[in-house]
């Protein structure tokens, strides 16, 4: 009887060990997925937008974006360019006075290398780096595609393209609401929402 009890105890011990190992494997896999595809929540004045990033295909752009997120750089910035049927853009200006003066928030990091052509396309709901005519000039500004803009914004023989680094996984309805607001001019900038739409906070989703 004692031997049988010991065997039962041993079996329970092995079962517990197997359960623990399985739990650790799931936790490790989840952590790996979180590292490979981290998510960020943009809590905007019109609602939350959750973005899943693709570090495997756009490591430079993702790491750059997360540096701005983790530092709190995006908190309080406005969406300064909204074009229905095209895209919404933000990540640079704290208010319309700064926008009129074309003065981005202090704290910009060095420009990054353009990762367009990484296999990610400017499809509806994707997020990509905004830049100047210099392909390697992107810093903090980003845009979210409202439609399939792959023909005009992806890399092709005549264009360096714009680097996609993630996609909206929740809150595309919020992006669509932003797209429908009335816009006008602020200083030299067109397509500016008449009423400021702000990013209240940008944080990693836990």
113 touches 53 (CB < 8 A): no
Contacts of 150 (CB under 8 A, 6+ apart): 121, 122, 123
Assign 36 a pLDDT band (cuts: 50, 70, 90): confident
Domain coordinates of the chain in residue numbers? 1-35, 37-204
Residue 21 has pLDDT above 60, yes or no: no
pTM above the 0.75 mark? yes
Span 71-87, average pLDDT = 98
Using CA of residue 38, residue 39, residue 42, residue 43, what is the dihedral sign?
negative
Q: Which CATH number does 37-204 carry?
A: 2.40.100.10
pLDDT digits (tens, 9 = 90+) for 165-184: 999 999 999 999 999 999 99
Dihedral through CA 68, CA 73, CA 79, CA 85, nearest 10?
Answer: 0
Q: Token pair for residue 120?
A: 């990610």
Assign 112 a pLDDT band (cuts: 50, 70, 90): very high
C-alpha 196/C-alpha 9 separation (Å) is: 66
Residue 91: what pLDDT?
98
Residue 6: what pLDDT?
43
173 touches 49 (CB < 8 A): no
Span 46-65, average pLDDT = 98
Assign 78 a pLDDT band (cuts: 50, 70, 90): very high
Contacts of 163 (CB under 8 A, 6+ apart): 58, 61, 114, 115, 116, 118, 120, 128, 129, 138
118 touches 82 (CB < 8 A): no
């Amino acid at each position: 009887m004692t031997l049988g009890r010991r065997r039962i105890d041993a079996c329970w011990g092995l079962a517990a060990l197997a359960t623990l190992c399985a739990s650790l494997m799931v936790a490790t896999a989840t952590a790996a997925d979180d590292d490979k595809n981290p998510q960020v929540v943009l809590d905007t004045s019109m609602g939350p937008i959750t973005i899943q990033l693709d570090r495997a295909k756009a490591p430079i752009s993702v790491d750059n974006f997360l540096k701005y997120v983790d530092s709190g750089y995006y908190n309080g910035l406005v969406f300064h360019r909204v074009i229905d049927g095209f895209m919404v853009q933000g990540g640079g200006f704290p208010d319309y006075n700064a926008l009129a003066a074309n003065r981005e928030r202090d704290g910009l990091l060095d420009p990054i290398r353009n990762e367009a052509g990484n296999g990610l396309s400017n499809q509806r709901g994707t997020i990509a780096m905004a830049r100047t005519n210099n392909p390697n000039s992107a810093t903090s500004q980003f845009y979210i595609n409202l439609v399939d803009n792959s023909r005009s914004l992806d890399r092709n023989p005549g264009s360096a393209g714009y680097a996609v680094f993630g996609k909206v996984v929740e809150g595309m309805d919020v992006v669509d609401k932003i797209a429908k607001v009335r816009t006008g001019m602020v200083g030299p900038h067109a397509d500016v929402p008449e009423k400021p739409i702000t990013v209240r906070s940008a944080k990693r989703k836990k």
